[in-house]
Structure 1
Amino acid sequence: MPQPPTPTLTQRRRTPSIALRAGGLVAALTAGALALGACGPAGGSTAAPAGPGTASATVVTTPTPAATAVAPAATPPATTAAPAPSSPATPASTPTPKPTPTLVAGPAIYRTGSTGSTVREVQARLKQLAWYSGDVTDTYGERTTASVRGFQAKRGFPVTGEVDRRTLDKLQAMTRPPTADELANRVPVVTAAAPSTAGLDARCLTGRVLCISKASRSLTWVVDGKALQRFDVRFGSENHPTREGDFTVYRKNRTWTSTLYGSSMPFSMFFSGGEAVHYSSDFAARGYAGASHGCVNVRDYAGLARLFDQVQLGDRVVVS
């Protein structure tokens, strides 16, 4: 039987081996699989594991003679110079905070035991700011000391209970000169015709009462059954109704600003939570076209200023 011709050297070089052909095919498939799986989570492996039941194949590629690179001669490693010692970093200079100046109380002008008409004036001014209650007198006693201490603490002054120049200047700047009625503990005489008590809630006819009626939209200041002042008032909206009941004035503030709405509330007299009787510029401008958030709005600024000076902490408020 004739033997097949032996391939020449040239033919052997042109015929790729089966192993090389298989290795190229597997490499191409693997590269395609990696390209499709390149959207994995950042920081994770991009190589997909073999599927279930599939054996991992080890691919051996035999480089052709032309692809065989000759390794360059080893080059001796360059001598690495030792790093120069670095100078220690200079810390950034931190500015020294300036000490907060500490207020020191000045010499007392009025203190416990002081007497005279000027003490009466101090008490009357404190009363305008609702720091002092009751009748003013010529004697600087425990009540005056407690009032001054509260006033000083509120302003960040040294709390001594004694009136020094700083305390007196601040008190005078925040108040007006007391009237003769205030200094004499008298209720101011109402020049206009006194309002009537007809139709008022029966609870309003005893003691000192801010008698507020939703039916007549009015506030009447009543002392021992006698009506002294009367005001038009406005109430809360349907969503924020003014509470009804028998309350007392527990806080007064001549220049209060609402912490919820940012609106000015001069001559505030609080009687139930955040609800107060106070002057409303909106009520003065728009009348009953608007409403409050529960407070009792008054639009007579001057009249309410007089009422504010008469009302004391603990006076009753009847809303019906």
Structure 2
Amino acid sequence: MKTLIKTGVSALAVAAMSTGFAAAADMGAKDEPIKLAINEWTGQHVTTHVAAGMLREAGYEVEFVTAGMLNQFQAIADGDIHATLEIWSSNVSDQYAGLKDAGKLEELSDLGLNAREGIAYPAHVADLCPGLPAWEALKDCAMNFATAETLPMGRLVDYPADWGTPGADRMTGLELPFKAVPAGSEGALIAELRASTEKKSPLLITFWQPHWAMSAYDVKFVDLPAGEDACFSDPAWGPNPNAINDCDFAASRIFKAGWPGMKDKWPAAHEILVNYTLAVEDQQPMMGAVDVDGKGVEEVVAAWMAANEGKWKPVVDAATK
């Protein structure tokens, strides 16, 4: 499920309306709120608020619980949070896999967003580091990216610390002379892109798509060796025979997970979240409206839902009617 079909009705919704799958599920404990995790980035806020709108349309109460991306999984296993709607496979913790394998977490389904993560730079930086986007070019121009805290190495602005260290892992794996400095937040990453674009200054950053900033700041990805499975387990694979992670990110999968008790406590809500998808072309404009135009997430999502009932309401109706 990569995109929603152009008619505005998701493929899952079509299937729900044309097969026995469309039988309404029991609503369950409608008087008890369903708690959804809110993580650290705008896209996840949009994704989660759309899901909340769908659940409320079905007749459920919803509460938001602020939770760190890497710290939320035990809370879900304990039933303190009931679902998280935008997990990136490239950053998921080993704890998630352990809880899932133990039956304490349920993986619901793919969200449907086309995604990529990597080491990136604003387009103008190619003039400051000839040879980009080839990763080898970074060996010769690292000093152009150096700051007082990283000398004699270049600076890579990595993800916030609680998102993991994927940028640092690649600098080590590829033996690139860069020090990874964690950003404080998604907002700090955007501030770096904005400042670099305005000042035409050098910047190397760990970043991802979908994100409105990819187009707003003309961000390009560095061409790293392909992120094949062997790269992450076999040091002999890739350009550095003594290290793993000497490659690009593995292809990212974005998916949803929940408390295993949800299917029994709120059967219709469980069905809605399993069948909920969101397309890149819908998410990115909402992200831009929040981060660029300064609108509130609730306002932006409410406007999108009002204008796009055909993209989400059939999923709700299939579970409840």
Give TM class, smaller chain.
Answer: under 0.3
- Pick 1 or 2: higher relative contact order, CA cutoff 8 A, min separation 6: 2
TM-score (norm 1): 0.21
Give the number of the structure whose alpha-carbon radius of gyration is greater.
1
